[in-house]
Amino acid sequence: MGKIVAVAMSGGVDSSVAAALLKEAGYEVFGITLNPWVAVPGQGAVADPRRRACSPDDVLDAREVAARLGIPHYVFNVQAEFRRWVLDYYVAEYRRGRTPNPCIPCNRLIRFGLLLKKALALGADYLATGHYARVREDADGYHLLRAVDPQKDQSYVLYGLGQFELSRSLFPLGEYTKAEVRAIAARLGLPVANKAESQDFCFLGGLDYRDWLALQVGTLNPGPIEDLSGRKLGEHRGIAFYTVGQRRGLGIAAGTPLYVAAIDPTRNAVIVGPEAALYRESVEAEDVHYVAGRPPEGPVRITARIRYRAPEAPATLEPRPDGSAVVRFDEPQRAPAPGQVVVFYRGDEVLGGGIIRRSAPVPAPAAVP
């Protein structure tokens, strides 16, 4: 086809099959694996490198697959950028009492920022990844679509891509199911055909996120755990170790189940309440990005997802002149957390998304006269 494609190869089955499919289609393919784990002096410890994604074993797996496919393979160290843009961001957001998704800055800044630039500098026409998503081009530009396999769809974490990124990106797996991808890997004799998937954030290495945070931040200032009326029920060990919707690990006894309903970083307080206190009728988003490069004109009907695996919910999107947006749900949504991402869909298309800044609780029923 005369086109050169750089494939982001993580050492897993998805990116390996992406490279194989592109080679079969006639592209000139080479692989790039990013190594984020070289030690950075003066920074906090990270989890066991053998249990992290992008581990040394994963790099070797990617290299073996590249050799099997007969394509060049390169490894780039991105430790400083990964630490600054992903790990430090993750820690800082929790310190603010928010709940971040580190896959968002990783995709926007590392994969489709730094890696895309490296790929183009090496002569590639496109960057391909093993994400389950699709791109469609028409007279209106490039459109980001969900994958055909709803169980594997990863369009949520790609909402930050724009027209330039989509014009230079290929997602070969968007039309496949996971079972089909593994079958292709087996047919081609790829050594990663049966490799297990990583089920958590790549840097946790099997740790609970609170244990990982403790490695990074050490001791935080304790503070009060309060009920909705402001009554102190106990003491927390630092707001970074709590998230909206959390029930376990609160260390308080009550006659009914209590959940983290809000975190107040200005007072260093964790507020708890019954499950009903978790529901919100709308969210306000900041740092809003639209795939088309511009917001829709006026309020539009959408479906919205308030976290990666949450079901989509019918809603109305209201863009604001300052670049923020409000999403008003038809039905109240459970535990939207500041710092998480709300993504906007229209059918199969991703319109964009933003970081949840705050949410509006469901109004209390009017008093009966």
Residues annotated catalytic, as ranges:
106, 202
What does the alpha-carbon distance between residue 173 and residue 17 come to, in Å, rounded to a whole number?
Answer: 8
Those residues with Cβ within 8 angstroms of residue 297's Cβ, 6 or more apart along the chain or in another chain: none
E strands of 148-278, at which residues?
A: 169-170, 223-226, 232-236, 259-264, 269-273
Helices within the chain (DSSP H only): 13-24, 56-69, 79-82, 88-95, 103-105, 116-121, 163-167, 178-187, 209-217
Phi-psi region of 214 (alpha: psi -120 to 50; beta: other; left: phi over 0): alpha
Backbone angles phi, psi at 367, to 5 degrees: -65, 140
Q: What are the structure tokens assigned to 213, written together?
A: 């945070």
Give the 3-state secondary structure of residue 210. helix
Q: Given the structure tokens 């949840």, which residue do they identify?
A: 356
Give the 3-state secondary structure of residue 133. strand
Q: Order the strands of the 73-77 sheet from edge to edge.
A: 73-77, 28-35, 4-8, 126-128, 169-170
DSSP letter, residue 294: S
Classify residue 78 by burial, with Cβ atoms within 10 Å: 0-12, 13-18, 19+.
buried
CA distances from 35 to 19, 32, 54, 143, 183 (A): 19, 10, 6, 30, 28
Closest by CA to 302, choosing from 350, 351, 345, 342, is 345
Residues in a beta bridge with 318: 326
Q: What are the structure tokens assigned to 306, written together?
A: 């308030």
